[in-house]
Amino acid sequence: MASISYSPAAFDETSASDLLRSSSSGVTGIPLKTLGKVRFVVKRRDVIVAAKMRKMKKHEYPWPADPHPNVKGGVLTHLSHFKPLKEKQKPVTLDFEKPLVDLEKKIVDVRKMANETGLDFSDQIISLENKYQQALKELYLHITPIQRVNIARHPNRPTFLDHVFNMTDKFVELHGDRAGYDDPAIVTGIGTIDGRRRYMFIGQQKGRNTKENIQRNFGMPTPHGYRKALRMMYYADHHGFPIVTFIDTPGAYADLKSEELGQGEAIAHNLRTMFGLKVPIVSIVIGEGGSGGALAVGCANKLLMLENAVFYVASPEACAAILWKSAKASPKAAEKLRITAPELCKLQICDGIIPEPPGGAHAGATWTSQQIKAAINETMDELTTIDTEELLKHRMHKFRKLGGFQEGVPIDPKKEVNMKKKEQTVPRSSKAELEGEIEKLKQQILKAKESSTKPLEVALKNMIEKLKEEAYHEYSEAIRAMGLKDRLEMLREEVSKVNSKDRLMNPVLMDKIEKLKHELNQSLSAAPNYTILKYKLDMLKEVSTAKSLSKAATMKQEVNKKFSEIMGRHEIKDKLEALEAEVQSSGVKDKILKLKSKIQLEMISALESLSLEVEVVKSNANPTSLSVFKNKVYNLNEEINKTTEEVVNSSELKNMMELLKLEKAKAEAEDVESESKIEALQQQIKQRISEAISSSELKGKHQELKAEISEAIQSSGGANGSLQKETKHAEPMLEMNFA
């Protein structure tokens, strides 16, 4: 294009409104219309100024000719680039909604059949639709916190601009932060509702598809967006427009550029400014409100939430990754964070819940928008009656009361269940103090032999509990000093997960436990508190042994007492005296056996009344003749015990025993499957021990010893029915198992 030179004199007849005046370039008197069509070059003072105006395409608004009846004002031709989607959004089914898919499919199939055949299936369709609505209502009445999070993040959920255009009569979008940028993740504008009042709308805008999400940065604002919101807040405060903010963001955009541009400063500036604005502010959480990015437009007099919206400091996935080292624990994190609208209302963070239709806001976007509009009108009617000073105090007190507490007030038992248990510090006793207490206990034991043993048992029990607590804390200190605390905590978590999922212990986990045990035992002697730990463990062992002996002595006294009572009866004494007289006169073996049997039954019933298991072992052998086999039997028992101990200490049998313990714990819940597993494991353990004991060497020794004892019994005359003098007062042997 050729350059054309112009002089000011050529345009003397043009009006002042048609001329371009520039104090910086010194060019005056050039018509604007001419500048839009041609390129010009002005030569002045050896400086050439060149400019070229590009013809811009006129902006188009392809709104439908028949707008939605709930949108007042007809076709929207305002300054927003937000337009209806050309393609309908694809339906998205969440995981917990999958049971409803079958009913939907049936309804579609019946309608298709009705269209193809021309038959009337209206009754069947109505019945299926009623079932679907009932199932949908029941499903959404009992949804979990993580399911509400998924609903809040639903890709088809209505956005800020969807709600604004459904609520307002007119809406004009305002752009720019007046610092060179317009962040599309935050949308601002002025709109009217029912022609009653103008509002300044500020909202975080997500996209309705992938293209829009990329354009809107998935609803994550940059510092420019917060500064744009701040500019509009000042504008609304100056003109007296009430402010309505819509929160729907996973958080502020946390990239390097945003941090360089002052993301934290922009959020902090918004927080400070919102507490000083003299107009009413209402914030509505329509999706998810994440961290400071949501709070930067959420410092309001009233905070309202949609029924399935969430408001949190950290997302459930981030919380689970921090606390449980895995994002898979997000359902548990969502429950513990208490981020849903009902929970936040109980905590007085949220001031009201706006209902959603069954299926979520995306199932009825227009209906949800009308509910939001009604909530805004009701809340603003309340806030506009308050004067400015009270309005500022109201906003300040709303946030000042969050997290408040009172000392001395009883804790609600329901809240106390979820509170962290206070760590009780157990006072540690010194070695000298323990020695003094043990000495006192020994004196009590000596005195208890002459009197009742019940006070002794109580003292022993208290001492054992105290030593256990102190030994536990000494172990904890040793583990912390050796740097094994983290590994132990991780193992505890893994074991608790296995127990919660009602599964058998993983062999890999068993190996980890064994390795930690081995490492702990190897390095325990190097712990700084090993000396006192060992002393307390020795004392615990000694006191536990004393308690067992005390219990056995008590049982022995009671058994002897019962035996004396039975033998002291007149009828028993008379029969024994009569029997002795008859024995001296003639052999009455049968009568003796009958009397022994009767006495034995009396004794058994007396012992069973003491909760003792009694097993009668009859012996006709001469004790004197059998005493020579005592050492042989003892040696054989030692070999058997040694073999059994080796088998029990094997890794395979240890794993089986650990599994048996877990299954027994599960059986307490009356789990039939666990009981069958217990029986199978017991049989396997018995079989392994039996196989080890039944080795050829032990079996041979047992057979030889058995033959020798049989020969000794026969030679003693106990097998021929004669009653010898040595066995005249022989009594049945009682084996007692203390329960």
How does DSSP assign 292-360, residue by residue?
A: HHHHTT---SEEEEETT-EEESS-HHHHHHHHSSSGGGHHHHHHHHT-BHHHHHHTTS--EEE---TT-
Q: What tens digit of pLDDT does each residue of 191-210 get?
A: 999 888 899 999 999 998 88
Q: Are 223 and 269 in contact, with CB atoms under 8 Å apart?
A: no
Q: What tens digit of pLDDT does each residue of 290-316 get?
A: 888 999 999 999 999 999 999 999 999
- Arithmetic mean of pLDDT, 270-292: 94
Percent of the chain with pLDDT over 90: 27
Average pLDDT, the chain: 76
Q: Are 253 and 263 in contact, with CB atoms under 8 Å apart?
A: yes
- The pLDDT assigned to 58 comes to 46
Give me the residues paired with residue 249 across strands.
289
- Higher-confidence residue: 250 or 429? 250
Phi and psi at 188, nearest 5°, equal -130, 155
- Arithmetic mean of pLDDT, 328-351: 90
| Cα angle 330, 331, 337; round to 5 | 80
Least confident of 573-582, 620-629, 633-642, 706-715: 620-629
Local confidence band at 538 (pLDDT 50, 70, 90 cut-offs):
confident
- The pLDDT assigned to 405 comes to 59
Least confident of 1-15, 68-82, 140-154, 251-265: 1-15
pLDDT of 480 strictly over 70: yes
**What's the CA gap between 474 and 468, in Å, rounded?**
10
- The tokens describing 10, both together, are 């050529």
Least confident of 64-78, 123-137, 647-661: 64-78
Local confidence band at 668 (pLDDT 50, 70, 90 cut-offs):
low
- Higher-confidence residue: 145 or 737? 145
**What's the CA gap between 285 and 340, in Å, rounded?**
11
Local confidence band at 587 (pLDDT 50, 70, 90 cut-offs):
low
Q: What tens digit of pLDDT does each residue of 606-645 get?
A: 666 655 666 665 554 454 445 566 677 777 777 777 777 7
Least confident of 111-115, 179-183, 256-260, 429-433: 429-433
- Higher-confidence residue: 33 or 683? 683
Give me the residues paired with residue 734 across strands.
616
DSSP per residue over 609-659, as a string? TTTEEEEEE---S-HHHHGGGHHHHHHHHHHHHHHHHHHHTSHHHHHHHHH
Residue 294 CA: distances (Å) to CA of 247, 258, 535: 6, 16, 58
- Higher-confidence residue: 304 or 101? 304
Least confident of 33-37, 435-439, 525-529, 578-582: 33-37
Least confident of 41-55, 368-382, 473-487, 718-732: 718-732
Among 88-102, 106-120, 298-312, 405-419, top mean pLDDT goes to 298-312
pLDDT of 522 strictly over 70: yes
- Higher-confidence residue: 683 or 411? 683
Residue 336 CA: distances (Å) to CA of 290, 316, 340, 515, 720: 16, 9, 11, 34, 80
Nearest to 286 by CA among 260, 328, 317, 247: 247
Q: What tens digit of pLDDT does each residue of 13-61 get?
A: 444 444 334 444 444 445 544 444 444 444 455 556 555 555 544 444 4
pLDDT of 716 strictly over 80: no
Name the residue ranges covered by the structural domains of the chain: 97-142, 145-401, 431-560
Q: Are 424 and 310 in contact, with CB atoms under 8 Å apart?
A: no
**What's the CA gap between 560 and 643, in Å, rounded?**
37
- The pLDDT assigned to 641 comes to 75
Can you tell me whether residue 59 is helix, strand or coil? coil
pLDDT of 65 strictly over 90: no
**What's the CA gap between 517 and 506, in Å, rounded?**
17
Least confident of 221-225, 562-566, 644-648: 644-648
pLDDT of 477 strictly over 50: yes
- The pLDDT assigned to 449 comes to 61
Nearest to 250 by CA among 287, 276, 224, 302: 287
- Arithmetic mean of pLDDT, 272-293: 93
Least confident of 188-202, 212-226, 423-437, 552-566: 423-437
- The pLDDT assigned to 79 comes to 47
CATH T-level assignment (fold) for domain 145-401 = 2-enoyl-CoA Hydratase; Chain A, domain 1 (3.90.226)
Least confident of 83-97, 629-643, 668-682: 668-682
Local confidence band at 501 (pLDDT 50, 70, 90 cut-offs):
low
Least confident of 305-319, 583-597, 651-665: 583-597
- The pLDDT assigned to 643 comes to 74
Q: Are 74 and 81 in contact, with CB atoms under 8 Å apart?
A: no
- The pLDDT assigned to 487 comes to 82
Local confidence band at 408 (pLDDT 50, 70, 90 cut-offs):
low
pLDDT of 246 strictly over 70: yes
- Higher-confidence residue: 369 or 717? 369
Phi and psi at 368, nearest 5°, equal -65, -40
For CA atoms 16, 18, 21, 25, give the dihedral sign. negative
Percent of the chain with pLDDT over 70: 71
